[in-house]
Amino acid sequence: MAGDAAAMRFSCDSCGKSYAWKQELAGKKAKCKCGAAISVPTQLGGADDDAGAYDLADAGPAPAVAAPRPAASARPAPVARPAMTSSGRSAPVAAAAAPAGALPRATASGRMLNYKSAPTRGKADREKDVFFNRTKDVFIPLGMLMFGVLMTTLAFMFEERLPIVWAMTATVVALGLEVVFLVAASFVVARITGVSFGTLWIGILKLATLVCFCSGLDTGVSWLAHGTGIGGLLGWAAFTLSYFFLLMWLFDMDPGEAWLVFIIISVLKFLFNTFLMIALIGLLFSGAGGRLAGAALGGGGGGGGGGTMITGSASSAAAQQKEVDALKESGSLMEAREFVGGGRQAAMKQLVEDLYGAGAKKAYYSVNRQPNTGKIEGASDFIVELPDDPAARKKCFELINAWRKTLEQPAANGEPAITYDPLTDDGDPYLFMELP
């Protein structure tokens, strides 16, 4: 056999891809990257017809073989009788010991072939791919996946101001949907390109790693580059490059295959998002969608850009309460007296006192905080928990509309007049008013 054994190669019968032959892999089962099963040859450079079913066993010196008798294969082999010695005792006859469970048969060369039964279906299903690397295929992907989940959760907490429970829930939902889409898309990509993503569960783990790590890296880079004006661009570049190189590393693709897979997945995602957007628009313009949109987004209660109210009976009340609870949990809701008592929104101090005097249950400001220090920078909305008594509710609306009237300005110096339409009571538990 010419050359060193480690330099010799064998090929997949399905796609022709060659692999280096190694002595420690000889006779084992493997899986090609195209998905086909490979039997690693026991040796290279010669016929190996029985390599998958037989092992050679040395049986010592060849015994004398008697001439064959007719139909001998259908009868049991004769048992040698012991020879008698001069003392009348029987002499032991030496016999070659056969391995347990093996039926020896002689060859012309005097060597014995021990038959090995084919593996059962269950055993064959449990055979491991000899190219499987636990560190590369399991441990490193798990670590990268956890990094991506952590970065995405932190982004929801500090950028979206969500409490940790809501941030973790949003992370699971967002990344989970991406993983489900990518797993489904991988079947299409495999059929189009012929590439393999590995065994089912290892493939799903690697696809989840691809989604979570690349999304987390995009989030982290954008976060670090916040304020530079190009954070989004840097995040996109980090996502694209990491996606490309992970396709090559996790799935042993060459650069051409990786780019092709990346392009196909991007096109499929664009088509999916377009279809989803059309479906959502159709839902919003339908009767049920209009009611859903009213409950989730709220209706207009004022004009001139000065104030809004969330409308819509029971559904709207639930949506309002959910929003208020989320603001409280995130620390973005401050009681109105406490807020104006710190010297903020001094022009509204009397209005706050008048509302409490009219029977308002609570008044709040939705505050904005600095990401790092938590210091309050200002407020964006004024929220009033209205009383149940109709007369008290009417008084609260009169006070708010009167205060809004004081903010109106006539047209001057070419600037249009600033006016505010009066807010009306739609029966909701809260009144949300955007601050001017």
Q: What is the DSSP string of 106-120?
A: B-TTSPEEEE-PPPP
Which pLDDT score, from 0 to 100, does residue 240 have?
A: 92
249: pLDDT strictly greater than 50:
yes
Which pLDDT score, from 0 to 100, does residue 362 have?
A: 92
User: Is residue 346 classed as helix, strand or coil in its secondary structure?
Assistant: helix
Q: What number is the average pLDDT over the span 63-68? A: 51
Distance in angstroms (rounded) separating the CA atoms of residues 42 and 1: 13
What pTM did the predictor assign? 0.45
Q: Render pLDDT for 47-65 as a digit per residue (tens, 0 to 9).
A: 444 433 333 334 445 455 4
Distance in angstroms (rounded) separating the CA atoms of residues 367 and 383: 11
The answer to whether 28 and 38 have CB atoms below 8 angstroms apart is no
Instruction: Measure the CA angle with vertex 197, ends 193 and 199; round to 5°.
Output: 135
